Structure 1
Amino acid sequence: MKLQIEPIGNAYSEQAIDLILTIQQQEFNIPITVDDQPDLKQIESFYHEAGGNFWGAFIEGELVGSIALVKFDEKAGAIRKMFVKKEFRGKELNIAQILLEILIAFCRENKIDDIYLGTISVLKAAQRFYERNDFVKIKKENLPERFPLMSADDIFYHIHID
């Protein structure tokens, strides 16, 4: 199984929606719909044009993971859409780690020093993953004013990169 990670655009909207909604709704019973996430239908205008990016992880042509960066300030971005299909998770393929490292490298290249993210309390493995990667939990009221809040998120993290 060969893993390929590349930036994706609107041509992959349907695959991204399928990947992400399946995990959100069926695996974690999060009451969120595609209408709550209009960014998935406009990847290019929402992520790319503002100076962020959206990456897909592919195995044999199948989209099995994603991560995105919303640039919301000159030197700040928010991680969004960090998902890996259940059967492709874990240390063996290390997809989540590779996706995160690609996003951080992109931030360094583009002089984005502060990365924030929101997640949901039921996503325990996600919280452990971010904490292992030196993200620090912060209170909602300590988020930057322009942080793009998602209604479902109730736990927030920050990391400063050099």
Structure 2
Amino acid sequence: MKTHYRDFVIRSWEEGDLAFAADVIHSVLTEYGLPWEPTEADKDVLQIEECYLAVAGEFWVVEQEGQVVGTAAYYPIKRASDAVEIRKMYLLPSARRKGLGKFLLKELESAIASRGFQQIWIETASVLKQAVQLYESSGYQPASGVETARCDRVYVKHIS
């Protein structure tokens, strides 16, 4: 997968991206006072092949001028037979407020729908106000069943 939005390149993860992707996620979590949890909630970032690629998921990186400035991913989950969870959608401050988050979410939804999934779940934290606003304005409905300790919100969207 490779696409462009303004001066950003969104592409499939490559092995050399690991440290850069982890740095972006760690940086954004720290910015919002959330813990980086490499042995719990963030262990998937250190095991992209096993946690995403081997189970019919995808992990994307966002580059600007050759630097990784964001990530976005999804993988199938057991909440329903046709469900995925969007994960690790993080953008550095320099990549925010440009419509990129909305574009990324739409691209994820298109990729997910093309693979025949019907439900998209997202867990997030209230402190991530821009993310919460994006999900709610994009048709995601509040649900119950938060599974990640640092998260306090879960959303679901049914697609066709």
User: Which segments of 5 or more consecutive residues in structure 1 lack a partner in the other structure?
Assistant: 144-148
Counterpart in the other structure of 1:146: none
Counterpart in the other structure of 2:153: 155
**Conserved 8 A contact 1:56-1:67:** yes
**Conserved 8 A contact 1:138-1:158:** yes
Q: Percent identity, aligned pairs only?
A: 27
Deviation, 1:12, is 1.1
Counterparts of 2:77 and 2:15, CA distance in 1: 20
**Conserved 8 A contact 2:121-2:154:** yes
**Conserved 8 A contact 1:9-1:44:** no
Residue identity matched to 2:22 = I
Counterparts of 1:99 and 1:7, CA distance in 2: 13
Counterpart in the other structure of 2:3: none
Counterpart in the other structure of 1:97: 102
Give the superposed CA RMSD: 1.5
Deviation, 1:9, is 3.7
Equivalent residue of 2:52, what SS? helix
Counterparts of 2:107 and 2:16, CA distance in 1: 21
Deviation, 1:33, is 3.0
Q: TM-score, normalised by structure 1?
A: 0.87
**Conserved 8 A contact 1:9-1:54:** no
Kindly report which structure 2 residues correspond to 1:60-75, keeping only aligned pairs within 5 A, or say none.
60-73=65-78, 74-75=81-82
Counterpart in the other structure of 2:49: 44
Kindly report which structure 2 residues correspond to 1:1-162, keeping only aligned pairs within 5 A, or say none.
2-25=7-30, 27-36=31-40, 37-73=42-78, 74-90=81-97, 92=98, 94-140=99-145, 149-162=147-160
What per-residue deviation string (whole Å, max 9, x for no partner) do you get for residues 76-126 of structure 1?
Answer: 100110101112101x3x211121111111111100110001111211111
Number of residue pairs the alignment of both structures matches? 152
**Conserved 8 A contact 2:83-2:120:** yes
Runs of 4+ aligned residues of structure 1 deviating over 2 Å after TM superposition are 31-36
Counterparts of 1:35 and 1:12, CA distance in 2: 19
User: Which segments of 5 or more consecutive residues in structure 2 lack a partner in the other structure?
Assistant: 1-5
Equivalent residue of 2:103, what SS? helix
